A and B are shown apart, each in its own frame.
Chain A
Amino acid sequence: MHSRHFMNEEEDFKVGPRSQKAWGVHIATAFFFGEAGAGLYFVSQFFDFTIGMSIALLMVLIGKGGGHLVHLGQPMRGWRALAKVGTSWISRGLLAIAVFVFTGALHVLNLNTAFMPQALSALVSLVAVAACLVIMVYQGFAMSHSSAITLWSTGLMPVASLTYGLLNGVLLTLVLGFNTPLLNDHPEIFQLLQAAAIALMLYGLVMVLSLLHGAKYGSEGGQKSVELLVRGAFAGWFVPVVILLGFVVSALFMSFAPRNLFSMIAVAGTELTGYYAFRVLMFKVGTYDPVMSFAHHFRR
């Protein structure tokens, strides 16, 4: 077989797995802010932590929204993406973002001014949390929803989104809440969050590894994705950054480092770096299966 190692295989007219190119860093960035922001909001609202909620809203609005807009080919008509809530996770996500930003903002405002009646405010906060949860998972659903790319096409994708979302939320809360009454006054919350972080890291690690395992045995395209991550062009990023930095180093640091702001920033830094790398790499190694999975049947 003509080997492909030096050619730009995507361009070659060869049967064989090909990488997707449509989603890249812009979308990864949007996803990053979406899952970090929504996670932060979720944890913050749980603890009525206004700073967290406010920053979370900004992350989703500017980071996620901006990332998407930059990615779009026709950003001016971006609003049209609301059209297919019935079938499209992208529509649902966009709706969730709109609802989230609106209700989240109302909720934060209400926390400070209490301008809403009790019942309404409860409803708004509930809707905000629900929308925030949707944001945390819909990106995973958007990826897992089609069978095109084996690596993505798994129920673990939304789980990964949720896990990462929560983990990001916890770590950001640990950073933003440091030296605020939330954590200063409530050491038990600090401990709880710390424990949650470590648990989520371990869980995340297992989940990412299962993702790879599933992809590897899922299809030729899946196998190629895993190869790229573990041995191929992206192994230098995936193993050290996503796995070691994002989970192992972060978890060890969280377990053993002294409890100070610097440590929290450091852990959040390593974890978020790992997470961002995860998001980018998931796109980079997204591989379609060879169109002709049955090509060999056609041998003479």
Chain B
Amino acid sequence: MDLSTQPVQNSMKPGKWVNSTCKMCLHSCVTRIHITDDGVVNKVEGHPTAPSNNGRLCPKGNAAILRHYDPTRFKTPLRRTNPEKGPGVDPKWEPISWNEALDIVGRELKRTMDEDRRKLLPAINDFQKLFLWAWPAAYGNANYFSSVGNFCGGGYHPMNGFVHSAFAAANDVNYCNYWINNGGGDGFSSHLHTAAQANHVAKARVERNMRVVVIEPRLSIGGAKANEWVPIRPATDRQFALGLCHVLVYEKLYDVKFLKKDTNAPYLVGPDGYFVRNAEGKIYVWDAGDGQAKLWDDPSIKDFALEGTYQVEGKECKPSFQKFKDILRDCTPEQMSEITTVPAENIRRIAREFAKAAQIGSFIEIEGRLLPLRPAGYNFYRGAQGHKYSAMTNQSFKLVNFLIGAIDTPGGHVGATLDDQMQEIRGGCGMINAGENGMMKTAPHQLHPEVPFSYPPNETHLMGYFPIGVDPGHLTQMTLENPEKFGLNYKPDTMLMCHSNPVWNLSGKREKWFEMMRGMRFIVAIDILPNESNEWADIILPAHDLLESWNLTMIEPPHHEGMCLRQPATEPLYDTKSEEEIFNEISERLGILEIWNTIQNFVNGFHQKPELLLDPKTKYGDKEIAERKGKLWNGQDLNWYIEHGHAVTPRKPEKWYRPWEGMRLHFYIEDILRARDDLKKKMEDANVAIRHEWEWYDYQPLPTPKLDPVHEEPQEFDMYAITFKDIQINFGESIGNPWINDIVFKDPVHTTVLLNTATAKAKGLANGDIVRIESPYGSIVARVSASQGVHPETVCVSNALSRIATQNSAVRLGGGNFNELLPANLKNTDACSGQPETVAKVKLTKLTVMPAEFMASNSAYAHGRGH
């Protein structure tokens, strides 16, 4: 045999391919995995038949093999033997058997259960196994000790629920020609099936000449690829959007027909902010044709008035559109320019270009359905919406889309469900339902049903006080610091983490989190690799990794739908179990297996097909759950999925475009006022002490230009620090994967914090200088690089620099956790949605002494970059 002709490339070696799905971030790009005849996984590729990611993978997806073979993986259940706990303190793990580990966990959780079920702090974050998030409900607990969906979308998800009855939203890349991208990486670096979306957006840009305008404080990847990068002062995105709205409204560039017919913009609003209703509760509009008020569904209405002031039922009232117009009076491009630093003429020009590109009045026929064509959309995410007045901020972006009639229409801004089985699951969140008075029913709860109000509060993060938001885990710091003030009558002492890194992901002071962790009687972590949080655990329950387990998912897809299979490529390398098995075992030991199975039926939607229902007493493994999800999706069994890998198809137009046809959308969100007043009443009735401090202003039916409190920090904090994800990095989590490190730590964007060149010069900072970045709440340390691609008031801190002490020596230390700079308090949290402020006001001080962490051999700065 001539050796030199033997294929030596990994994918060409003798072996087999199996179909699977990536899980190196929360999305679900479809893969095929090559395994050698010797059973070694040696190549992961995109699956060529999947129309979502089109056979392509981002760098993280390409690095899955090294997660699988990572020597720091948890290999057996572990028990801590070092009673001392702290960041970087070696837990001195001792391997124990599964039985012993599960018995300990069962015993300790049982004890907590018997004492007070509320004393458990759960943190379960796996987006690909969303049903696991519901496990605490089986335990009888609604705490949530993590920031997932909250740091990024506290305001975003509820607002998508209000507007689209969906979890997420995306610009329709199939037809969009003018894409405003505000503070989100969609299509370039993060969010919404990163690798897949990058593919579709690149095609639209290059093959269809779609214009991209990126509004961000830093020249992100999106900014670099955009036709226009608009640098903006951080945390002023709402004001930018309101500036656009001003131009659209005052220059009459809006879609009158859409607003009158498909939204509640003509509904009359009374002085109390509620719609004006008759005795039966029917809402009035003003018929400009007849010059009189009529009920909204009166067939005789000639012309819905959008503007004007009227007297109806003895009340002075205005169409909600007029209410918005009134607000916009003080949102001229000039005024907004002062806040955002975006020149007024640019705000004007972009608004006009946007309206022009929207082709208001045009139609397109898709599958026999005549739909409004609006090839322009305002897209946004984490960076733009992650601010104090987040609900208002999100609504302001939506309203830009409303004004040009671009909601849920080809080319415009379209709602996207979380996992496409939502129709009937988790209480129907994501389902389109008719509401009252011709309006679509709002669905602000996109992750779990509302947590009931309680006083004393049952939840450390006060979720019962957020009738429309996403769990603000960070508030735990505030309440535990001052339990009397919040009436908290118990002290949590037990923690269960699964696929979660709260000590990393939450805002607030690390030292206070550490203190809290030290106070825990018992911590169990279900994980695959050491991280900042599970180094505090008493017991580690090691999970299979993505190449060893079964699953079926499709998570936050913008343009596609259909389940994707994960199947084991190899036998588990170590003595690990699937999360499904682990929770079954724990549940059984706690005597809650039956409840858990019932809840799984509910959250997975198995009740839609009774033959799929889990038998309450049986323990179902990952394979069986996966099989049922497949059958629920398309009736196909696991063998079908094993053969095809996935059931991905382009999103069905009837589901994607105007699924609410015939209902009116919420231009004006009265439900927010109702939520406020319900809460007020409940707090009054229960005599909740902090009700006077509650941030009542945050509940607005329409956005106002009020400045977020971050801008009011003391003057000496003269800069803004921002954080960002990137396509190479999953949070900070993929740092530690050698291939990811090899590309990430060669880019100044990720090895230093970036400052505008002129700012650096003015501050006497040169490249490579070490600075302390200090906010009123905490500080971190980093090296600086100057860049022309940064707003002059901004410091950009990559997630690659955010890791702190860890047991995983491949993780590079970056000088501190960005979240240290952020407040974990109510003042900087949107009381309407639970969204924390994610931008910090900071000052920079040049350090002359190299801090110790920079010298560590695994410092992000130590590697080839020393002075």
Tell whether any CB of A sits under 8 Å from a CB of B in the complex: yes
A contacts, CB < 8 Å to B: 1-8, 11-14, 300
Is B785 in contact with A12, judged by CB distance below 8 angstroms? no
A7-B751, A11-B864 are known contacts. Are A2 and B767 too (CB-CB below 8 A)?
yes
Is B767 in contact with A3, judged by CB distance below 8 angstroms? yes
Residues on A with beta carbons closer than 8 Å to the beta carbon of B787:
1-2
Is B227 in contact with A7, judged by CB distance below 8 angstroms? no
Residues on A with beta carbons closer than 8 Å to the beta carbon of B227:
300
Let me know if B743 is at the binding interface, CB within 8 A.
yes
Let me know if B867 is at the binding interface, CB within 8 A.
yes
Let me know if B788 is at the binding interface, CB within 8 A.
yes
Contacts A/B (CB < 8 Å), 15 sampled: A2-B752, A2-B767, A2-B787, A3-B786, A4-B767, A5-B767, A6-B767, A6-B865, A7-B767, A7-B864, A8-B865, A11-B746, A12-B746, A13-B743, A300-B227
Residues on B with beta carbons closer than 8 Å to the beta carbon of A5:
767-768
**B731-765 interface mask toward A, CB cutoff 8 Å, 1 = contact, 0 = none?**
00000000000010011100110000000000000
A6-B867, A300-B227 are known contacts. Are A12 and B767 too (CB-CB below 8 A)?
no
Residues on B with beta carbons closer than 8 Å to the beta carbon of A3:
766-767, 785-786
Alpha-carbon separation in the docked complex, A5 to B783 (Å): 13
Q: Smallest Cβ distance from A286 to chain B, in angstroms?
A: 20
Is A2 in contact with B864, judged by CB distance below 8 angstroms? no
Residues on B with beta carbons closer than 8 Å to the beta carbon of A12:
746-748
For B, the interface residue count at a CB cutoff of 8 angstroms equals 18
Q: Smallest Cβ distance from A77 to chain B, in angstroms?
A: 16
Alpha-carbon separation in the docked complex, A13 to B783 (Å): 18
Q: Smallest Cβ distance from A120 to chain B, in angstroms?
A: 45
**Besides A2-B748, A2-B787, A300-B227, 19 new A-B residue pairs in contact (Cβ under 8 A), listed by A number:** A1-B787, A1-B788, A2-B767, A2-B785, A2-B786, A3-B767, A3-B785, A3-B786, A4-B767, A6-B768, A6-B783, A6-B867, A7-B767, A7-B864, A8-B865, A11-B864, A12-B746, A13-B747, A14-B748
The 6 closest A-B pairs by CB, nearest first: A6-B768, A8-B864, A3-B767, A2-B748, A13-B746, A2-B785
Alpha-carbon separation in the docked complex, A300 to B212 (Å): 13
Residues on A with beta carbons closer than 8 Å to the beta carbon of B746:
11-13
Residues on A with beta carbons closer than 8 Å to the beta carbon of B751:
7
Alpha-carbon separation in the docked complex, A2 to B760 (Å): 12
B contacts, CB < 8 Å to A: 227, 743, 746-748, 751-752, 766-768, 783, 785-788, 864-865, 867
Residues on B with beta carbons closer than 8 Å to the beta carbon of A7:
748, 751, 767-768, 864-865
Alpha-carbon separation in the docked complex, A6 to B784 (Å): 11
Closest to B225 in A: A300
Q: Smallest Cβ distance from B727 to chain A, in angstroms?
A: 14
Residues on A with beta carbons closer than 8 Å to the beta carbon of B864:
7-8, 11
Closest to A3 in B: B767
Q: Smallest Cβ distance from A1 to chain B, in angstroms?
A: 7
Q: Smallest Cβ distance from B55 to chain A, in angstroms?
A: 25
Q: Smallest Cβ distance from B677 to chain A, in angstroms?
A: 51
Residues on A with beta carbons closer than 8 Å to the beta carbon of B752:
2
Q: Smallest Cβ distance from B267 to chain A, in angstroms?
A: 45
Closest to A4 in B: B767
Q: Smallest Cβ distance from B424 to chain A, in angstroms?
A: 48
Q: Smallest Cβ distance from A218 to chain B, in angstroms?
A: 28
Q: Smallest Cβ distance from A66 to chain B, in angstroms?
A: 31
Q: Smallest Cβ distance from A238 to chain B, in angstroms?
A: 22
Q: Smallest Cβ distance from B117 to chain A, in angstroms?
A: 51
Alpha-carbon separation in the docked complex, A168 to B576 (Å): 70
Alpha-carbon separation in the docked complex, A227 to B372 (Å): 62
Alpha-carbon separation in the docked complex, A8 to B752 (Å): 13
Residue in A2, A8, A300 with the greatest tally of chain B CB atoms within 10 Å? A2
Q: Smallest Cβ distance from A4 to chain B, in angstroms?
A: 8
Residue in A1, A7, A300 with the greatest tally of chain B CB atoms within 10 Å? A7
Q: Smallest Cβ distance from B505 to chain A, in angstroms?
A: 28
Alpha-carbon separation in the docked complex, A4 to B752 (Å): 12
Residues on B with beta carbons closer than 8 Å to the beta carbon of A8:
864-865
Q: Smallest Cβ distance from A281 to chain B, in angstroms?
A: 22
Alpha-carbon separation in the docked complex, A134 to B238 (Å): 75
Alpha-carbon separation in the docked complex, A82 to B248 (Å): 77
Residues on A with beta carbons closer than 8 Å to the beta carbon of B867:
6
Residue in B748, B783, B787, B867 with the greatest tally of chain A CB atoms within 10 Å? B748
